[in-house]
Chains A and B, each alone.
Chain A
Protein backbone atom coordinates (compact mmCIF):
# COMPACT_ATOMS: atom_id res chain seq x y z
CA UNK A 1 0.00 0.00 0.00
CA UNK A 2 1.31 3.42 -0.87
CA UNK A 3 -0.03 6.67 0.41
CA UNK A 4 -1.14 9.29 -2.05
CA UNK A 5 1.74 11.64 -2.76
CA UNK A 6 1.08 14.97 -1.07
CA UNK A 7 2.43 18.25 -2.24
CA UNK A 8 4.97 19.42 0.30
CA UNK A 9 3.90 22.51 2.14
CA UNK A 10 6.53 25.20 1.60
CA UNK A 11 5.50 27.00 4.77
CA UNK A 12 5.92 23.94 6.95
CA UNK A 13 9.27 23.13 5.35
CA UNK A 14 10.49 26.68 5.90
CA UNK A 15 9.48 26.79 9.57
CA UNK A 16 10.98 23.36 10.11
CA UNK A 17 14.26 24.61 8.66
CA UNK A 18 14.24 27.52 11.11
CA UNK A 19 13.59 25.07 13.96
CA UNK A 20 16.48 22.87 12.93
CA UNK A 21 18.78 25.86 12.40
CA UNK A 22 17.94 27.00 15.92
CA UNK A 23 19.41 23.73 17.24
CA UNK A 24 22.35 23.50 14.89
CA UNK A 25 23.62 27.11 14.74
CA UNK A 26 25.01 27.22 18.30
CA UNK A 27 26.85 24.01 17.53
CA UNK A 28 28.34 25.55 14.39
CA UNK A 29 29.20 28.67 16.38
CA UNK A 30 31.08 26.57 18.90
CA UNK A 31 32.90 24.50 16.28
CA UNK A 32 33.92 27.64 14.36
CA UNK A 33 35.82 28.91 17.41
CA UNK A 34 37.77 25.75 18.19
CA UNK A 35 41.53 26.24 17.91
CA UNK A 36 42.08 22.77 16.51
CA UNK A 37 45.87 22.93 16.40
CA UNK A 38 46.04 23.89 20.08
CA UNK A 39 43.18 21.61 21.23
CA UNK A 40 45.37 19.01 22.89
CA UNK A 41 47.44 21.70 24.59
CA UNK A 42 44.30 23.46 25.86
CA UNK A 43 42.84 20.27 27.26
CA UNK A 44 46.05 19.29 29.04
CA UNK A 45 46.57 22.55 30.92
CA UNK A 46 46.62 21.91 34.66
CA UNK A 47 43.20 23.48 35.23
CA UNK A 48 41.50 21.81 32.27
CA UNK A 49 42.98 18.40 33.03
CA UNK A 50 41.92 18.69 36.68
CA UNK A 51 38.35 19.56 35.64
CA UNK A 52 38.20 16.70 33.14
CA UNK A 53 39.50 14.20 35.67
CA UNK A 54 37.10 15.41 38.34
CA UNK A 55 34.12 15.37 35.97
CA UNK A 56 34.90 11.85 34.85
CA UNK A 57 35.17 10.53 38.41
CA UNK A 58 32.12 12.39 39.71
CA UNK A 59 29.83 11.61 36.76
CA UNK A 60 30.71 7.90 36.87
CA UNK A 61 30.14 7.83 40.63
CA UNK A 62 26.84 9.69 40.21
CA UNK A 63 25.70 7.29 37.48
CA UNK A 64 26.63 4.35 39.72
CA UNK A 65 24.74 5.84 42.66
CA UNK A 66 21.74 6.52 40.41
CA UNK A 67 21.89 2.90 39.23
CA UNK A 68 22.12 1.46 42.74
CA UNK A 69 19.14 3.37 44.12
CA UNK A 70 17.31 4.01 40.84
CA UNK A 71 16.74 0.43 39.68
CA UNK A 72 14.97 -0.60 42.92
CA UNK A 73 12.99 2.66 42.87
CA UNK A 74 11.92 1.99 39.27
CA UNK A 75 10.98 -1.56 40.29
CA UNK A 76 8.79 -0.39 43.17
CA UNK A 77 7.10 2.24 41.01
CA UNK A 78 6.48 -0.26 38.21
CA UNK A 79 5.39 -3.28 40.22
CA UNK A 80 4.04 -2.33 43.64
CA UNK A 81 0.53 -1.02 44.24
CA UNK A 82 0.48 1.45 47.11
CA UNK A 83 -1.44 4.61 47.98
CA UNK A 84 0.28 7.72 46.70
CA UNK A 85 2.28 5.89 44.06
CA UNK A 86 1.55 8.47 41.38
CA UNK A 87 2.60 11.24 43.80
CA UNK A 88 5.87 9.41 44.53
CA UNK A 89 6.47 9.00 40.80
CA UNK A 90 5.77 12.67 40.12
CA UNK A 91 8.12 13.78 42.91
CA UNK A 92 10.83 11.42 41.64
CA UNK A 93 10.63 13.15 38.25
CA UNK A 94 10.77 16.62 39.83
CA UNK A 95 14.54 17.19 39.35
CA UNK A 96 13.99 16.87 35.58
CA UNK A 97 11.97 20.07 35.50
CA UNK A 98 13.19 21.81 38.65
CA UNK A 99 15.77 24.56 38.02
CA UNK A 100 19.05 22.89 39.08
CA UNK A 101 20.05 25.92 41.14
CA UNK A 102 16.90 25.41 43.21
CA UNK A 103 17.89 21.79 43.62
CA UNK A 104 21.25 23.03 44.87
CA UNK A 105 19.57 25.30 47.43
CA UNK A 106 17.46 22.36 48.59
CA UNK A 107 20.51 20.13 48.89
CA UNK A 108 22.23 22.87 50.90
CA UNK A 109 19.44 23.00 53.49
CA UNK A 110 19.16 19.21 53.68
CA UNK A 111 22.77 18.01 53.41
CA UNK A 112 24.64 21.24 54.16
CA UNK A 113 26.46 21.63 57.45
CA UNK A 114 23.38 23.18 59.07
CA UNK A 115 20.86 21.10 57.10
CA UNK A 116 18.75 18.61 59.02
CA UNK A 117 20.60 15.63 57.53
CA UNK A 118 23.96 17.35 57.10
CA UNK A 119 24.12 18.46 60.74
CA UNK A 120 23.74 14.86 61.87
CA UNK A 121 26.28 13.59 59.34
CA UNK A 122 28.69 16.17 60.77
CA UNK A 123 27.84 15.36 64.39
CA UNK A 124 27.88 11.56 64.10
CA UNK A 125 30.41 10.83 61.40
CA UNK A 126 32.28 14.10 60.85
CA UNK A 127 31.20 14.07 57.21
CA UNK A 128 30.94 17.42 55.40
CA UNK A 129 29.34 17.26 51.98
CA UNK A 130 29.34 20.94 51.08
CA UNK A 131 32.42 22.12 49.16
CA UNK A 132 33.56 18.51 48.74
CA UNK A 133 33.84 16.09 45.85
CA UNK A 134 31.22 13.90 47.55
CA UNK A 135 28.93 16.93 47.41
CA UNK A 136 29.45 17.16 43.65
CA UNK A 137 28.50 13.49 43.30
CA UNK A 138 25.40 14.06 45.41
CA UNK A 139 24.31 17.08 43.34
CA UNK A 140 24.90 15.23 40.09
CA UNK A 141 22.99 12.17 41.30
CA UNK A 142 20.07 14.39 42.32
CA UNK A 143 19.59 15.73 38.81
CA UNK A 144 20.50 12.48 37.01
CA UNK A 145 18.40 9.98 38.97
CA UNK A 146 15.04 10.73 37.28
CA UNK A 147 16.50 10.03 33.83
CA UNK A 148 17.42 6.53 34.94
CA UNK A 149 14.20 5.88 36.85
CA UNK A 150 11.91 6.98 34.02
CA UNK A 151 13.75 4.81 31.48
CA UNK A 152 13.99 1.71 33.65
CA UNK A 153 10.46 1.97 35.01
CA UNK A 154 9.07 2.04 31.47
CA UNK A 155 11.08 -1.11 30.71
CA UNK A 156 9.81 -2.92 33.82
CA UNK A 157 6.23 -1.96 32.96
CA UNK A 158 6.57 -3.03 29.36
CA UNK A 159 8.15 -6.35 30.27
CA UNK A 160 6.10 -9.37 29.29
CA UNK A 161 4.89 -10.81 32.61
CA UNK A 162 4.29 -14.17 30.94
CA UNK A 163 8.09 -14.55 30.66
CA UNK A 164 8.31 -14.37 34.43
CA UNK A 165 5.39 -16.79 34.73
CA UNK A 166 7.13 -19.17 32.32
CA UNK A 167 10.30 -18.99 34.44
CA UNK A 168 8.29 -19.73 37.61
CA UNK A 169 6.66 -22.82 36.08
CA UNK A 170 10.15 -24.02 35.15
CA UNK A 171 11.00 -24.00 38.85
CA UNK A 172 12.80 -20.65 39.20
CA UNK A 173 12.36 -18.93 42.55
CA UNK A 174 11.21 -15.33 42.71
CA UNK A 175 14.80 -14.15 43.19
CA UNK A 176 16.06 -16.29 40.29
CA UNK A 177 13.31 -14.97 38.03
CA UNK A 178 14.43 -11.41 38.72
CA UNK A 179 18.11 -12.24 38.33
CA UNK A 180 17.90 -14.49 35.30
CA UNK A 181 14.89 -13.16 33.38
CA UNK A 182 13.64 -9.74 34.46
CA UNK A 183 16.96 -7.91 34.78
CA UNK A 184 18.60 -9.39 31.64
CA UNK A 185 15.50 -8.70 29.52
CA UNK A 186 15.37 -5.15 30.88
CA UNK A 187 19.17 -4.91 30.50
CA UNK A 188 19.31 -2.72 27.39
CA UNK A 189 16.87 -0.25 28.96
CA UNK A 190 18.87 -0.21 32.18
CA UNK A 191 22.04 0.48 30.18
CA UNK A 192 20.25 3.30 28.35
CA UNK A 193 19.08 4.74 31.66
CA UNK A 194 22.62 4.64 33.05
CA UNK A 195 23.97 6.33 29.91
CA UNK A 196 21.37 9.10 30.11
CA UNK A 197 22.00 9.60 33.83
CA UNK A 198 25.74 9.73 33.20
CA UNK A 199 25.38 12.30 30.39
CA UNK A 200 23.12 14.44 32.58
CA UNK A 201 25.52 14.17 35.53
CA UNK A 202 28.44 15.18 33.32
CA UNK A 203 26.71 18.37 32.26
CA UNK A 204 25.46 19.35 35.72
CA UNK A 205 26.12 22.98 36.63
CA UNK A 206 23.49 24.74 38.75
CA UNK A 207 23.07 22.30 41.62
CA UNK A 208 26.83 21.66 41.76
CA UNK A 209 27.95 25.29 42.01
CA UNK A 210 25.23 26.05 44.56
CA UNK A 211 25.78 23.07 46.81
CA UNK A 212 29.43 22.12 46.28
CA UNK A 213 30.98 25.39 45.19
CA UNK A 214 33.72 26.00 42.61
CA UNK A 215 37.05 24.75 43.99
CA UNK A 216 39.69 23.64 41.54
CA UNK A 217 40.48 19.93 41.71
CA UNK A 218 37.75 19.35 44.28
CA UNK A 219 34.43 20.63 42.98
CA UNK A 220 35.24 22.47 39.73
CA UNK A 221 33.82 20.08 37.13
CA UNK A 222 34.03 20.72 33.39
CA UNK A 223 30.81 22.80 33.12
CA UNK A 224 32.00 25.02 36.00
CA UNK A 225 35.42 25.35 34.38
CA UNK A 226 33.79 26.29 31.05
CA UNK A 227 31.84 29.05 32.76
CA UNK A 228 34.94 30.33 34.58
CA UNK A 229 37.37 30.16 31.65
CA UNK A 230 34.95 31.86 29.27
CA UNK A 231 35.98 35.12 30.98
CA UNK A 232 39.70 34.44 31.47
CA UNK A 233 40.73 32.01 28.73
CA UNK A 234 37.93 31.40 26.17
CA UNK A 235 40.08 29.00 24.12
CA UNK A 236 40.22 26.51 27.00
CA UNK A 237 36.49 27.02 27.66
CA UNK A 238 35.75 26.17 24.02
CA UNK A 239 38.03 23.13 24.08
CA UNK A 240 36.27 21.81 27.20
CA UNK A 241 32.87 22.56 25.63
CA UNK A 242 33.88 20.50 22.62
CA UNK A 243 34.53 17.52 24.90
CA UNK A 244 31.01 17.81 26.34
CA UNK A 245 29.51 18.06 22.84
CA UNK A 246 31.46 14.97 21.75
CA UNK A 247 30.22 13.00 24.75
CA UNK A 248 26.60 14.08 24.11
CA UNK A 249 26.83 13.02 20.48
CA UNK A 250 28.39 9.71 21.51
CA UNK A 251 25.61 8.98 24.02
CA UNK A 252 22.96 9.91 21.46
CA UNK A 253 24.60 7.60 18.92
CA UNK A 254 24.76 4.77 21.43
CA UNK A 255 21.05 5.19 22.19
CA UNK A 256 19.93 5.33 18.55
CA UNK A 257 17.37 2.68 17.78
CA UNK A 258 15.99 3.23 21.26
CA UNK A 259 15.14 6.89 20.82
CA UNK A 260 15.86 7.72 17.23
CA UNK A 261 13.54 6.49 14.51
CA UNK A 262 15.47 5.55 11.43
Chain B
Protein backbone atom coordinates (compact mmCIF):
# COMPACT_ATOMS: atom_id res chain seq x y z
CA UNK B 1 0.00 0.00 0.00
CA UNK B 2 1.31 3.42 -0.93
CA UNK B 3 -0.22 6.87 -0.94
CA UNK B 4 0.26 9.70 -3.44
CA UNK B 5 -1.57 12.95 -2.98
CA UNK B 6 -1.59 16.29 -4.72
CA UNK B 7 -4.10 18.30 -2.77
CA UNK B 8 -5.42 21.75 -3.49
CA UNK B 9 -8.38 22.89 -1.50
CA UNK B 10 -9.77 26.30 -0.66
CA UNK B 11 -11.68 26.81 2.59
CA UNK B 12 -12.79 30.37 3.11
CA UNK B 13 -9.60 32.42 3.20
CA UNK B 14 -7.41 29.37 3.78
CA UNK B 15 -5.76 27.46 0.95
CA UNK B 16 -4.10 24.07 1.29
CA UNK B 17 -1.66 23.21 -1.49
CA UNK B 18 0.36 20.09 -0.71
CA UNK B 19 2.04 17.32 -2.65
CA UNK B 20 3.19 14.21 -0.86
CA UNK B 21 3.90 10.52 -1.31
CA UNK B 22 4.23 7.82 1.30
CA UNK B 23 5.82 4.55 0.25
CA UNK B 24 4.44 1.16 1.17
CA UNK B 25 4.25 0.51 4.92
CA UNK B 26 6.01 3.79 5.64
CA UNK B 27 5.07 6.62 7.98
CA UNK B 28 4.96 10.32 7.16
CA UNK B 29 5.08 12.76 10.05
CA UNK B 30 3.31 16.09 9.55
CA UNK B 31 4.14 18.98 11.84
CA UNK B 32 3.11 22.62 11.79
CA UNK B 33 1.48 25.34 13.83
CA UNK B 34 -2.25 25.33 14.60
CA UNK B 35 -4.16 26.33 11.49
CA UNK B 36 -1.36 25.27 9.13
CA UNK B 37 -3.69 22.75 7.48
CA UNK B 38 -2.68 19.46 9.11
CA UNK B 39 -6.19 18.30 9.98
CA UNK B 40 -7.58 19.60 6.67
CA UNK B 41 -5.02 17.42 4.89
CA UNK B 42 -6.11 14.34 6.84
CA UNK B 43 -9.78 15.07 6.09
CA UNK B 44 -9.10 15.18 2.34
CA UNK B 45 -7.27 11.85 2.45
CA UNK B 46 -10.14 10.32 4.46
CA UNK B 47 -12.65 11.60 1.90
CA UNK B 48 -14.46 13.78 4.45
CA UNK B 49 -13.49 16.91 2.50
CA UNK B 50 -13.45 16.88 -1.32
CA UNK B 51 -10.42 18.47 -2.96
CA UNK B 52 -10.77 21.26 -5.52
CA UNK B 53 -7.86 20.17 -7.69
CA UNK B 54 -5.23 17.44 -7.69
CA UNK B 55 -5.35 13.70 -7.13
CA UNK B 56 -5.38 11.42 -4.15
CA UNK B 57 -4.47 7.82 -4.97
CA UNK B 58 -3.79 4.75 -2.86
CA UNK B 59 -1.86 1.97 -4.62
CA UNK B 60 -2.61 3.70 -7.89
CA UNK B 61 -6.37 3.69 -7.29
CA UNK B 62 -7.72 7.22 -7.58
CA UNK B 63 -9.76 8.15 -4.51
CA UNK B 64 -10.39 11.78 -5.44
CA UNK B 65 -9.39 13.62 -8.61
CA UNK B 66 -10.69 17.07 -7.79
CA UNK B 67 -13.86 16.76 -9.83
CA UNK B 68 -15.65 14.51 -7.41
CA UNK B 69 -15.00 12.06 -4.62
CA UNK B 70 -14.34 8.89 -6.61
CA UNK B 71 -14.27 6.60 -3.61
CA UNK B 72 -16.55 7.43 -0.69
CA UNK B 73 -15.01 7.46 2.83
CA UNK B 74 -16.58 4.17 3.95
CA UNK B 75 -15.05 2.35 0.97
CA UNK B 76 -11.53 3.77 1.30
CA UNK B 77 -10.19 1.52 4.05
CA UNK B 78 -8.83 4.63 5.67
CA UNK B 79 -8.53 4.57 9.45
CA UNK B 80 -8.81 7.97 11.10
CA UNK B 81 -7.98 8.56 14.74
CA UNK B 82 -9.42 11.96 15.55
CA UNK B 83 -7.70 14.40 17.82
CA UNK B 84 -10.72 14.50 20.14
CA UNK B 85 -11.33 10.74 19.79
CA UNK B 86 -14.96 11.08 18.72
CA UNK B 87 -16.01 7.89 20.46
CA UNK B 88 -19.68 7.03 20.10
CA UNK B 89 -21.20 8.22 23.39
CA UNK B 90 -24.06 5.71 23.38
CA UNK B 91 -21.82 2.64 23.07
CA UNK B 92 -19.46 0.98 25.54
CA UNK B 93 -15.74 1.03 24.80
CA UNK B 94 -16.07 -2.55 23.58
CA UNK B 95 -18.92 -1.75 21.19
CA UNK B 96 -17.06 1.33 19.96
CA UNK B 97 -14.17 -0.91 18.94
CA UNK B 98 -16.52 -3.55 17.51
CA UNK B 99 -18.37 -0.91 15.45
CA UNK B 100 -16.14 -1.05 12.37
CA UNK B 101 -16.09 -4.85 12.34
CA UNK B 102 -19.89 -4.97 12.57
CA UNK B 103 -20.11 -2.44 9.73
CA UNK B 104 -17.78 -4.70 7.76
CA UNK B 105 -20.20 -7.59 8.16
CA UNK B 106 -18.61 -9.60 10.98
CA UNK B 107 -20.89 -11.34 13.44
CA UNK B 108 -21.56 -9.72 16.81
CA UNK B 109 -19.71 -12.44 18.70
CA UNK B 110 -16.63 -12.37 16.47
CA UNK B 111 -16.55 -8.55 16.45
CA UNK B 112 -16.67 -8.40 20.22
CA UNK B 113 -13.97 -11.03 20.66
CA UNK B 114 -11.61 -9.18 18.32
CA UNK B 115 -12.52 -5.84 19.89
CA UNK B 116 -11.73 -7.26 23.30
CA UNK B 117 -8.24 -8.39 22.29
CA UNK B 118 -7.56 -5.05 20.60
CA UNK B 119 -8.52 -3.22 23.83
CA UNK B 120 -6.21 -5.58 25.72
CA UNK B 121 -3.37 -4.80 23.31
CA UNK B 122 -3.74 -1.11 24.09
CA UNK B 123 -3.92 -1.80 27.83
CA UNK B 124 -7.55 -0.76 28.28
CA UNK B 125 -9.25 -4.16 28.42
CA UNK B 126 -10.58 -3.33 31.87
CA UNK B 127 -12.51 -0.37 30.40
CA UNK B 128 -14.44 -2.55 27.94
CA UNK B 129 -17.85 -2.03 29.49
CA UNK B 130 -17.54 1.64 30.33
CA UNK B 131 -19.12 4.39 28.28
CA UNK B 132 -16.85 7.07 26.78
CA UNK B 133 -18.19 9.60 29.29
CA UNK B 134 -16.68 7.52 32.11
CA UNK B 135 -13.21 7.24 30.55
CA UNK B 136 -10.24 9.50 31.22
CA UNK B 137 -8.78 11.38 28.25
CA UNK B 138 -5.93 8.90 27.98
CA UNK B 139 -8.22 5.87 28.17
CA UNK B 140 -10.53 7.36 25.53
CA UNK B 141 -7.54 7.96 23.27
CA UNK B 142 -6.44 4.34 23.58
CA UNK B 143 -9.97 3.11 22.86
CA UNK B 144 -10.01 5.35 19.79
CA UNK B 145 -6.71 3.83 18.61
CA UNK B 146 -8.07 0.31 19.18
CA UNK B 147 -11.28 1.19 17.31
CA UNK B 148 -9.30 2.21 14.24
CA UNK B 149 -6.59 -0.46 14.32
CA UNK B 150 -9.05 -3.33 14.69
CA UNK B 151 -10.39 -2.60 11.18
CA UNK B 152 -6.88 -3.09 9.71
CA UNK B 153 -7.00 0.01 7.51
CA UNK B 154 -4.76 0.38 4.45
CA UNK B 155 -4.17 4.04 5.17
CA UNK B 156 -3.90 5.16 8.77
CA UNK B 157 -4.45 8.81 9.66
CA UNK B 158 -3.43 9.77 13.18
CA UNK B 159 -4.24 13.26 14.45
CA UNK B 160 -2.29 13.93 17.65
CA UNK B 161 -3.01 10.36 18.77
CA UNK B 162 -0.79 10.36 21.86
CA UNK B 163 -1.35 13.88 23.21
CA UNK B 164 -4.08 12.91 25.69
CA UNK B 165 -2.10 9.95 27.04
CA UNK B 166 -0.04 10.54 30.17
CA UNK B 167 3.74 10.44 29.95
CA UNK B 168 4.01 7.12 31.80
CA UNK B 169 1.83 5.17 29.39
CA UNK B 170 2.85 7.00 26.24
CA UNK B 171 5.90 4.91 25.19
CA UNK B 172 3.89 1.69 25.56
CA UNK B 173 0.94 3.00 23.55
CA UNK B 174 3.26 4.36 20.83
CA UNK B 175 5.10 1.05 20.64
CA UNK B 176 1.83 -0.91 20.34
CA UNK B 177 0.48 1.47 17.70
CA UNK B 178 3.54 1.35 15.46
CA UNK B 179 3.94 -2.42 15.89
CA UNK B 180 0.31 -2.85 14.81
CA UNK B 181 0.84 -0.49 11.85
CA UNK B 182 3.87 -2.53 10.77
CA UNK B 183 1.97 -5.79 11.15
CA UNK B 184 -0.93 -4.48 9.05
CA UNK B 185 1.47 -2.99 6.52
CA UNK B 186 -0.50 0.23 6.24
CA UNK B 187 0.64 3.66 5.18
CA UNK B 188 0.60 6.00 8.17
CA UNK B 189 0.23 9.77 8.24
CA UNK B 190 0.98 11.05 11.73
CA UNK B 191 0.06 14.61 12.63
CA UNK B 192 1.79 15.74 15.79
CA UNK B 193 3.22 18.67 17.67
CA UNK B 194 5.98 16.49 19.07
CA UNK B 195 8.48 14.96 16.63
CA UNK B 196 9.39 12.60 19.48
CA UNK B 197 6.16 10.75 18.60
CA UNK B 198 7.70 9.55 15.30
CA UNK B 199 8.50 5.82 15.09
CA UNK B 200 12.16 6.42 14.21
CA UNK B 201 14.66 9.20 13.46
CA UNK B 202 14.68 8.07 9.81
CA UNK B 203 10.94 8.63 9.36
CA UNK B 204 9.99 11.14 6.64
CA UNK B 205 8.60 14.42 7.87
CA UNK B 206 7.04 17.54 6.39
CA UNK B 207 6.34 20.87 8.02
CA UNK B 208 3.25 22.77 6.95
CA UNK B 209 3.17 26.55 7.11
CA UNK B 210 0.02 28.33 5.98
CA UNK B 211 -1.18 25.38 3.91
CA UNK B 212 2.13 24.77 2.11
CA UNK B 213 5.06 22.45 2.73
CA UNK B 214 7.80 24.65 4.15
CA UNK B 215 10.31 21.88 4.87
CA UNK B 216 10.82 18.20 4.06
CA UNK B 217 13.30 15.78 5.51
CA UNK B 218 13.91 13.12 8.12
CA UNK B 219 12.79 13.37 11.71
CA UNK B 220 16.46 13.46 12.77
CA UNK B 221 16.97 16.67 10.74
CA UNK B 222 14.10 18.33 12.59
CA UNK B 223 15.33 17.43 16.05
CA UNK B 224 18.89 18.79 15.48
CA UNK B 225 18.05 22.47 15.55
Give the interface of A toward B (CB within 8 A). Answer: 160, 162-163, 165-174, 176, 180-181, 184-185, 187
Given the complex, which residues of B lie within 8 Å of A173, measured CB to CB? 74, 103
Q: Which one of A169, A171, A181 contacts B88 once the chains associate, using CB atoms below 8 Å?
A: A181
Contact B88 A160 (CB under 8 A): no
Q: In the complex, which residues of chain A have a beta carbon less than 8 angstroms from the beta carbon of B78?
A: 169
List A contacts of B76 (CB < 8 A): 169
- B79-87, B123-131, B207-215 - the one binding chain A: B79-87
Chain B 94-115: CB-based contact to A (< 8 A → 1; otherwise 0): 0000011011100000000000
3 smallest beta-carbon distances between A and B, as pairs: A170-B100, A172-B103, A169-B80
B133 in the interface (beta carbon within 8 A): no
Q: Closest Cβ of chain B: how far from A99's Cβ, in Å?
A: 40
Within 8 Å CB of A165, what residues of B? Answer: 46, 48, 73, 80, 86
Q: List 25 A-B contacts (CB under 8 A).
A: A162-B82, A163-B88, A166-B80, A167-B88, A167-B103, A168-B47, A168-B48, A168-B73, A169-B76, A169-B79, A169-B80, A170-B99, A170-B151, A171-B74, A171-B75, A171-B100, A173-B74, A173-B103, A176-B103, A180-B102, A180-B103, A184-B90, A185-B88, A185-B89, A187-B90
> Does B44 count as interface, using CB distance less than 8 angstroms?
no
List chain B positions with a Cβ less than 8 A from chain A: 46-48, 72-80, 82, 84, 86, 88-90, 99-100, 102-104, 147-148, 151
User: Nearest chain-A residue to B80 (Cβ)?
Assistant: A169
Say which residue of B89, B90, B103 sits within 8 Å of A171 (CB atoms). Answer: B103
- Pairwise interchain contact A169-B48, C-beta atoms closer than 8 A: yes
Min CB gap A103→B, angstroms: 36
A165 vs B79: C-alpha distance in the bound complex, in angstroms?
A: 11
CA distance A167 to B76 in the complex (A): 13
* Contact assessment for A166 and B103 in the assembled complex, using a CB-CB cutoff below 8 Å: no
A169 touches B90 (CB 8 A): no
Instruction: Return the chain A residue nearest B102 by Cβ.
Output: A180
A181 cross-chain contacts in B, Cβ below 8 A: 88
In the complex, number of A-B residue pairs with CB atoms less than 8 Å apart: 65
B90 touches A185 (CB 8 A): yes
Q: In the complex, are the beta carbons of B73 and A169 less than 8 A apart?
A: yes
| With contact pairs A162-B82, A163-B88, A187-B90 given, residues A170 and B103 touching in the complex (Cβ less than 8 Å) | yes
Q: Which residue of B lies closest to A183 (CB)?
A: B90
Residues of B within 8 A of A162 (CB): 82, 84, 86
Residue in B closest to A161 when the chains form the complex, CB atoms: B48
B46 touches A169 (CB 8 A): yes
> Which residues of chain A have C-beta atoms less than 8 A from B86's C-beta?
160, 162-163, 165-166
The chain A residue sitting closest to B46, CB to CB, is: A169
Q: Which residue of B lies closest to A184 (CB)?
A: B90
Given A163-B89, A170-B147, 15 other A-B residues pairs in contact with their CB atoms under 8 A: A162-B84, A168-B47, A168-B48, A169-B46, A169-B76, A169-B78, A170-B74, A170-B103, A171-B100, A171-B103, A172-B103, A176-B103, A180-B102, A185-B88, A187-B90
In the complex, what distance in Å separates the CA atom of A166 from the CA atom of B103? Answer: 12
Are B74 and A168 in contact, with the CB atoms below 8 A?
yes
Are the CB atoms of B82 and A166 closer together than 8 Å? yes
- Tell whether, in the assembled complex, residue B84 and residue A171 are in contact, meaning their CB atoms are under 8 Å apart: no
* Least CB separation from B147: chain A residue: A170
Q: How far is the CA of A257 from the CA of B103 in the complex (A)?
A: 33
CA–CA, A169 and B151, complex, Å: 10
Most buried by B among A168, A170, A180: A170
- B21 to chain A: closest CB distance in Å? 21
Who on chain B is nearest to A166 by CB? Answer: B86
Nearest CB in chain B: distance from A192 CB, A: 15
A172 touches B82 (CB 8 A): no
Q: How far is the CB of B82 from chain A (nearest CB, A)?
A: 6
> Chain B residue with minimal CB distance to A172?
B103
Q: Write the nearest CB–CB distance from B90 to chain A, whole angstroms.
A: 5
CA–CA, A181 to B102, complex, Å? 13
CA distance A170 to B84 in the complex (A): 16
CA distance A163 to B80 in the complex (A): 12
A152-B74 Cα distance, complex, nearest whole Å? 26
